[in-house]
Amino acid sequence: MKLQRMDTLLRQAREKKIALGAFECWDSINIQGIAKASSLTGIPVIFQATPVEYEPMGGAAALVHMVKFYVDKYNINAALHLDHGSTLEQVEDCVRSGFSSVMLDASACEFEENARLSAEAAKIAHAGNLSFEAELGHVIGGDGGDGAESALTVPSEVVEFVKRTQVDCLAVSIGTVHGDYKGKPELRLDLLKEIASLVEEPLVLHGGSGTPIAQLHAAIKLGITKINICTDIHKAFLAGIEEARKTLTPSVPGNFYRPAAQMMTEKTVEMIRLFSTGIPQD
């Protein structure tokens, strides 16, 4: 199966009133687990990785080869997305390597600089027939930072940002965090509702891990079509390793990592189903 543009998959998901999971990739074990979960559920998935994840695998091109192999093996519909690219050079590298979607994250910059850099990255993506994601507002966490409050998306800036950047998918900041929450999750669904009323582009939620499912379902109902997941599936992977330590020897890696692969796959199946079933409708 050919990798698909991410915005195409997200618009199809929106028509079905569901969201797709976008799952972080860090090695072949978890890439196969994501593909297997998609096959088991019959729901498309987004494979995604930051440069921090794909560089140890051999770079962007190596990740493309791995993902394509498992997409073909399991005959699934999927996109491969650059998550949180930080430079135009990274965007160009992923376009050349065969990704089907890219993100340049300039959300920590002021509006003007974010819009300028995002517009440049969008031109690179569109020249290669890839979809492009940018973030307006800034979701914090995930890098050992000081836990300062996220900068929420300002609805009055959304239309101008989308117009100037030609973004295909817009990541919004409405109260989630990357990594573990330090407080009680409380999504600003009022902001999301206003944002969704202003733009037609698919909306993306970063920091989905640990967010109460009732709030995620409410966000999907209001227009979120992509939910990024890393921490939840990585914790399942690590839990599998701890389980293996009880009875298996690390000297036989093929057996030692089986519980991790199984538990991560089961968690991915769970997340895919949570994003696509049981969502309250009007």
CA dist., res. 85 & res. 106, Å (int):
9
Q: Which residues are catalytic?
A: 83
Task: Give just the sign of the alpha carbon dihedral 211, 213, 215, 219.
Answer: positive
Per-residue pLDDT averaged across 237-254, rounded?
96
> CA dist 125 to 81, 82, 119, 170, 179, Å?
11, 11, 10, 15, 28
Its domain, for residue 63, covers: 6-276
Tell me if 1 is assigned to some domain: no
Per-residue pLDDT band at 76 (split at 50, 70, 90): very high
Distance, CA of 226 to chain centre: 7
pLDDT reported for residue 177: 84
Number of domains in the chain: 1
Beta strands in the chain (DSSP E): 20-24, 45-49, 78-82, 101-103, 131-136, 169-172, 203-205, 224-229
Q: What is the model's pLDDT at position 262? A: 98
Instruction: Tell whether 21 is covered by a domain.
Output: yes
For the chain, the average pLDDT equals 94
pLDDT band at 146 (very low <50, low <70, confident <90, very high): very low
CB atoms within 10 A of CB 19: 30
In a domain, 35, yes or no: yes
Residue 194 lies inside a defined structural domain of this protein: yes
Domain assignment present for 177: yes
For residue 81, the model assigns a pLDDT of 98
Q: Please, which pLDDT band fits residue 181 given cuts at 50, 70 and 90?
A: confident
Cα–Cα nearest to 277, from 17, 40, 23: 17
pLDDT of residue 33: 98
| Residue 96 to residue 110: CA distance in whole angstroms | 29
Q: Is residue 89 part of a domain?
A: yes
Tokens of 64: 């493309």
Is residue 281 situated within a structural domain? no
Domain presence at residue 282: no
CATH number at residue 181: 3.20.20.70
Spatial distance between the Cα atoms of 157 and 169, rounded to a whole number of angstroms: 15
Bridge partner residues of 226 (DSSP): 20, 204
